[in-house]
Amino acid sequence: MKYAFYPGCVSKGGCPELYTSTTAVAQKLGLELVELKEAACTGAGVLNEKNPELADTLNARTFAMAERLGLPIMTICSTCQGVMTQTNHKLQSDKSYLAKVNSNLAGEGFEYKGGTLIKHLLWILVEDMGLEKLKTLVSRPLKGLKVAPFYGCYILRPSSVLGYDEHPARMTYIEQVVSILGGESVDYTGKTKCCGFPILTINERNSVAMVGDHTIEAKSKGADCMVTPCPLCHLNLDGYQPKASAQKGAKIDLPVLHLPQLIGLAMGFEPKALGLQRHIVSARGVIAKVAT
C-alpha cells in the first residue's frame, strides 16, 4: 500500500519523535510512503479564519500533488486531517469554488481535479490495512497496559464532514487498535474533548486547565498513559502537564504517547528508536510495564 505522506509541521519541528516512529512503524506495516516534501502547512485552521480562500488554495496545492502521484494522502495529525478533510469537502461540493481555487494555482503549475482521498494513519490501519494484519505484527503485546485514548477535535468534528456517517466505528478506532495491541482502553469523558492547544498562546490558563482536567480524569480511571493521533494534543498534554499539575495542585505524571509510538512498542521496537525518551512526562513507567 502506497501513500502520499503528509508529515505536517510538528513532526518536523516540536515532535521529531513522531516522524521517526511513523516511518519506522510504516515500514514494518508495509506502508510505502512518498513524502510530499514541497507541501505547505495546512494553516492549522488559523489561516482559515484570516483568509479562507488562501488557506484552501494552499491545501488544494497539496491535494494536487498527491493527485499527480495518483496516491491517497496519509496524515499523522488530527488537525492536519481535519483541516484538509474540511477543505476537500468544500472544494468537492462546490465546483465553482474549486475552479476559483484552481485559477489561483494556475501560475504554480498545479490543478486539483477533486479526487484526492485523505486519510489519517489511524483510519488506514483499520480501514485499508485491517487490524488482523496488525495483529500478526505484534511481538510485544501491551498486556496489562491501560491506555486512555485522546482523539483530538479535528479528527472527530464535524462528524458529518469527517466521514462518521459512513464509518460510525471511527469513534472507536483507537480503542480497537489498543485492544489488538494487547492493551486495555480506559474510557473517560475527556477523550473526545479539546486539549487546549489552539488557545495555548492566547489564554494559557484555560489551555492548561484543559490539560489538567483530561489527564487527571484519565489517571483517575486508571490509565497508565494516554495515546493520541494528534501531535498538537501531544505537545499540550505532555509539554504543559507540569504547569497543569501546578495549577491543579495535583501530581499527574501521565505519559502521552503518539499513536505510532504505541504501535511500535507492541511491534517490539526499541523505545529509543521510537523517541520515547523525548517526552516531557517520562514514559519510563510504560516501557517498564510493557517489558515485563
Partner 1 sequence: MQVSFKVRRFDPEAGKPPYYDQYTLDVPDYFTVLDALLQVRDEVDGSLALRCSCRSAICGSCAMHINGHAHLACKSRIQNFASKTGEIVVEPMGNMPVIKDLVVEMKPFWSKVQAVTPWLIPEGPPPQREYVVPNSAMLELAGVMNCIMCGCCVSDCTVLTVDKSFLAPAALAKAYRFVADPRDGVSEERLRELSKRSGIWDCTRCFECVQQCPKNVAPMERILALRAKAMEVGFTNNIGSRHSESIARSVKHSGWLDELRVPIESAGLFNIKALIGYIPVGFRALVKGKVPPIIHRPRPGADSVKRIFEKLEVRK
Smaller CB separation from partner 1, 183 or 196: 196
State the minimum distance, in angstroms, from the CB of residue 198 to partner 1: 5
Residue 246: strand, helix, or coil: helix
Residues in the site for partner 1, rule: CB under 8 A? 9-10, 12-17, 37-41, 43-51, 53-54, 57-58, 61, 82, 104-105, 107-108, 153-154, 156-159, 189, 193-194, 196, 198-207, 209-210, 213, 239-240, 242-243, 277-280
State the minimum distance, in angstroms, from the CB of residue 13 to partner 1: 3
Q: How far apart are CA 26 and CA 3, in angstroms?
A: 10
Q: How far apart are CA 185 and CA 102, in angstroms?
A: 44
Smaller CB separation from partner 1, 51 or 139: 51
State the minimum distance, in angstroms, from the CB of residue 102 to partner 1: 12
Q: How far apart are CA 200 and CA 7, in angstroms?
A: 22
Smaller CB separation from partner 1, 134 or 228: 228
Q: How many CB atoms lie within 10 A of CB 241?
A: 24
State the minimum distance, in angstroms, from the CB of residue 219 to partner 1: 18
What are 245's three cell numbers?
Answer: 499539575
State the minimum distance, in angstroms, from the CB of residue 288 to partner 1: 18
Q: What would you report as the CA-atom Rg of the chain, rounded to the nearest whole angstrom?
A: 19
Smaller CB separation from partner 1, 181 or 207: 207
Contact between residue 166 and residue 241 where contact means Cβ atoms under 8 Å apart: no
What sign has the CA pseudo-torsion 137, 7, 173, 152? positive
Smaller CB separation from partner 1, 153 or 178: 153
The DSSP call for residue 42 is: -
